Chains A and B, each alone.
Chain A
Amino acid sequence: MDLKLKVWRQKSGEEKGKIVDYDAKDVSPNMSFLEMLDVVNEDLITKGDDPIAFEHDCREGICGSCNLMINGQAHGPHQGVTSCQLHMRSFKDGDTVYVEPWRAKAFPVIKDLVVDRSAFDRIIQSGGFVSINTGGAPDANALPIPKVDADIAMDAATCIGCGACVASCKNASAMLFVSAKITHLGLLPQGKVEQKERVKKMINAMDKEGFGNCTNQYECEAVCPKSIKRDFIRRMNRDYILS
């Protein structure tokens, strides 16, 4: 199939960007979206043009590197899918596809479709961990954890930090991301000890980075490639009030 691409090109964070048109020809339905971009890039390089910069690594839907706004939706049209796991069988011959970077003040554009998401790392560095040094941990089975709690903690811990929640929120709120970590650690006895401090520190860090607040529109949940639940935000808000 042949597609028309409209891609955001921006040389650097300091320069203005614009949408540029490209043709993607002979696209196989078995290609991933990123493989389609690879082919477009090979063509651009051969023609002497600058290839489109986009971020990717594992291409298995787990590292969280890939981050494309595809037709206005973070990671494209499907629920629970990253851009690298979106396959071209989801498109039809002749479709026009817009490809843009995440848009948020806290995620400045570096080049084309690549943005700086280091704000997420700084939020984790503020307290998104259990403070334990290596060695001397008690036997793992010395502390039984109810399966139900462990399962919910796992559901929360599965966040890949891609930032789709921020990109799709009109306030560029990072609350789904932060609440996932707070829920994961807060449900486990090891994490409970520092929970109050953690909530305060992480929320302060989140505000400092320039992320907005939640106004309960749940776009974040709708686009999350790991189906992280909005309920976690409620849990975080409750923990914050109690802290």
Chain B
Amino acid sequence: MSLDSKIPSGSIEQKWSNHKADIKLVNPANKRKFNIIVVGSGLAGASASATLAELGYNVKTFCFQDSPRRAHSIAAQGGINAAKNYQNDGDSVHRLFYDTVKGGDFRAREANVHRLAEVSVNIIDQCVAQGVPFAREYGGHLANRSFGGAQVSRTFYAKGQTGQQLLLGAYSALSRQIGLGAVKMYPRTEMVELIVVDGHAKGIVVRDLVTGKLSTHMADAVVLGTGGYGNVFFLSTNAKNCNVTATWKAHKKGAFFANPCYTQIHPTCIPVSGDHQSKLTLMSESLRNDGRIWVPKSKGDKRNPADIPESERDYYLERKYPSYGNLSPRDIASRAAKEACDAGLGVGESGQGVYLDFADSIRRLGEPKIRDRYENLFQMYEQITGENPYKQPMRIYPAVHYTMGGLWVDYNLMSNLPGLFVIGEANFSDHGANRLGASALMQGLADGYFILPYTIGNYLAGAGFNSRPSEDHPEAKKALSDAEETTKKFLSIKGKRTVDSFHRELGKLMWDKCGMARNDKGLKEAIAKIPQIREEFWQNVNVPGSGAELNQSLEKAGRVADFLEFGELLCLDALTREESCGGHFREEYQEEGEAKRNDDKFCHATAWEFNGVGKKPTEHREKLEFENVHLATRSYK
């Protein structure tokens, strides 16, 4: 089957306007005849749910947390980009588009990225109107700052809690619709199966996480806004409960999974402190605006950082990438840190860390100014490490952060399964092989507020309002009984190992063999090993308790079972892509330590079709055309 991206005709600036003018509309009186399911209530899911309900559709929204306000979008710190050019520093829609395509290492779809840059302007207006308290200048106007990968100040922020404030904005819009009865909200409810009828997504099976009850919900369209799969690595900056289950279940029902090997490593996380560690904490990249990154010039220099004179420090980002310096993009900054640590120059007990030093900025701007900009981040760092970053440099190390891969979608954000829409981090479309700072929040809200509400109508208008099957449909019944079987199976194994122990084992393997750097040999080892771990899991996992109660081990078991299948696909994708690009660094393909892309062979998105667990998936390719931002080697020097 061929992948039809449905990119509209016309110049890049006209595509979205033309498309909006062309797509079919649903009459307002008919909108209430359509039921839409939204899974996930982060920036993408909450904004989509609220907007679709405002338009008049019946919306059911599901989240596994106790409240939609807790979705992991809340943890994003630094900011959200928009091409407002309020600073008069030369920004424009075109420049944001250009930076994002280039930042994604030419592996994103141009048309989607341009649309994202266009609507970025509306996002800020929308959020301000909702009461999102963005930072302001004394004149009362919005403040901006610069961010990694950009040479203009286009990032809007709310202290170090931008994700929180944007999510609370979307949550309040959603809450308003819940209060009005236009959205029926199902918190503490997890999607465990997708229902596909005649090739169209028509419903889901969910588990009530308090009572354990499985139930079926049918709809005219299903929207997944379920975030990324970074927790396949066990240690990541994702919230503990982030998972791949919803997208993986959809993949098993026919939706193609695109570019899973594109996992972003964030350069500024707090280093691992021991084997007990359950997750990693990110320090906002905005810190790189005022912090200077360095390591000692000589190996094994264990002196107190204050005692290491300037001449014996290597500010390696400033040295290697003079135009961007400490603000070079995430993949570049991450790899440079790894390189320094691999060369034995790392700092801290484990040697897996580099300094992020604020001493110069404190001298230049004074401590109060730095406190004003980053206080909560500094506090958080001190709580976790017991070290005061005003007095000594922070230690940072890269960690798995965001996943650019996800379910394949066309320009309408619809997967290859008609009726299944995928938004935000859960889809693959906008970031390419790498994501610039402050662009994930932008995509989540763009998809939910301004794109999906238009494009979903096009599908619904075509599908008609009498096409929703009932819960008695054989496919719905089968999905429900499959979910029941899986639950029973987990509880019946009664083995000797905990779910977490399998998750840690998988995660370590993924990080070692398919983390910041990958090679042919390691990937083949991982692909051989993962099925063994999976087999042992199904023989030897111990899930205590019953299925008819709040059972956190059972919840985890379902998610880890899916990671154990998905991890293999991620490694296969990494093995197949014989080039380096963005967050995917294949050691065999580099030039003087810099990632070496191969545009002749790999200028495409890879979309995998599921053929059964343990069976090789079928590879499909969507060729990427770069007509507006010409393919060029990324250089930040």
Q: How many angstroms between the C-alpha atoms of A150 and B178 in the bound complex?
A: 28
* A38-B500, A128-B175, A135-B122 known; A111 vs B66 contact (CB < 8 Å): no
Q: Are A190 and B69 in contact (CB under 8 A)?
A: no
Q: How many angstroms between the C-alpha atoms of A185 and B128 in the bound complex?
A: 11
Q: Are B133 and A137 in contact (CB under 8 A)?
A: no
Q: Are B69 and A121 in contact (CB under 8 A)?
A: yes
Q: Are A143 and B128 in contact (CB under 8 A)?
A: yes
Q: Are A154 and B133 in contact (CB under 8 A)?
A: yes
- Residues in B with CB closer than 8 Å to A184 are 131, 133
Q: How many angstroms between the C-alpha atoms of A157 and B167 in the bound complex?
A: 11
- Residues in B with CB closer than 8 Å to A60 are 75, 237, 239, 281-282, 380
Q: Which of A34, A85, A157, A158 is close to B278, meaning CB atoms less than 8 Å apart?
A: A34
Q: Would you call A19 an interface residue if the criterion is a C-beta within 8 Å of the partner chain's C-beta atoms?
A: no
- Residues in B with CB closer than 8 Å to A127 are 179
Q: How many angstroms between the C-alpha atoms of A44 and B550 in the bound complex?
A: 17
* A61-B380, A125-B176, A185-B131 known; A141 vs B141 contact (CB < 8 Å): yes
Q: How many angstroms between the C-alpha atoms of A38 and B556 in the bound complex?
A: 13
Q: How many angstroms between the C-alpha atoms of A151 and B134 in the bound complex?
A: 9
- Residues in B with CB closer than 8 Å to A133 are 54
Q: Would you call B135 an interface residue if the criterion is a C-beta within 8 Å of the partner chain's C-beta atoms?
A: yes
Closest to A27 in B: B276
Q: Would you call B612 an interface residue if the criterion is a C-beta within 8 Å of the partner chain's C-beta atoms?
A: no
Q: Would you call B309 an interface residue if the criterion is a C-beta within 8 Å of the partner chain's C-beta atoms?
A: no
Q: Name B271-329 residues within 8 Å CB distance of A.
A: 273-274, 276-279, 281-282
Q: Would you call A216 an interface residue if the criterion is a C-beta within 8 Å of the partner chain's C-beta atoms?
A: no
Q: Are B133 and A129 in contact (CB under 8 A)?
A: no
Q: Are A48 and B164 in contact (CB under 8 A)?
A: no
Q: Would you call A31 an interface residue if the criterion is a C-beta within 8 Å of the partner chain's C-beta atoms?
A: yes
- Residues in A with CB closer than 8 Å to B124 are 140
Q: How many angstroms between the C-alpha atoms of A147 and B134 in the bound complex?
A: 10
Interface-side segment among B250-258, B351-359, B510-518, B541-549? B541-549
Q: How many angstroms between the C-alpha atoms of A48 and B278 in the bound complex?
A: 22
CB distance from B207 to the nearest CB of A (A): 15
Q: Which of A28, A62, A134 is close to B276, meaning CB atoms less than 8 Å apart?
A: A28
Contact with B along A191-215 (1 / 0, CB 8 A): 1000000000000000000000000
Q: Would you call A6 an interface residue if the criterion is a C-beta within 8 Å of the partner chain's C-beta atoms?
A: no
Q: How many angstroms between the C-alpha atoms of A204 and B38 in the bound complex?
A: 30
Q: Which of A116, A151, A185 is close to B66, meaning CB atoms less than 8 Å apart?
A: A116
Contact with B along A171-200 (1 / 0, CB 8 A): 000000000000011001011000000000
Q: Are A57 and B239 in contact (CB under 8 A)?
A: yes
Q: Which of B71, B133, B210 is close to A153, meaning CB atoms less than 8 Å apart?
A: B133
- Residues in A with CB closer than 8 Å to B134 are 140, 150
Closest to B159 in A: A154
Q: Name A117-149 residues within 8 Å CB distance of B.
A: 117-118, 120-121, 124-135, 137-141, 143-147
CB distance from A159 to the nearest CB of B (A): 9
- Residues in A with CB closer than 8 Å to B51 are 134
- 10 pairs of A and B residues whose beta carbons are closest in the complex: A144-B140, A129-B172, A125-B179, A137-B129, A140-B128, A137-B125, A154-B133, A150-B136, A30-B273, A57-B239
Q: A59-B281, A135-B122, A147-B136 are in contact. List 16 more A-B contacts (CB 8 A).
A: A42-B498, A45-B553, A48-B544, A51-B552, A58-B239, A61-B383, A85-B384, A86-B383, A87-B384, A121-B68, A124-B175, A134-B54, A139-B125, A140-B124, A157-B168, A188-B133
A-B contact pairs, 11 of them (CB 8 A): A30-B273, A30-B274, A48-B544, A50-B545, A53-B552, A80-B379, A121-B185, A129-B173, A141-B141, A154-B158, A190-B129
Residues of A within 8 A of B (CB): 11-12, 28, 30-32, 34-36, 38-39, 42, 45-46, 48-51, 53, 55-65, 80-81, 85-87, 89, 110-111, 114, 116-118, 120-121, 124-135, 137-141, 143-147, 150-151, 153-154, 157-158, 160-161, 184-185, 188, 190-191
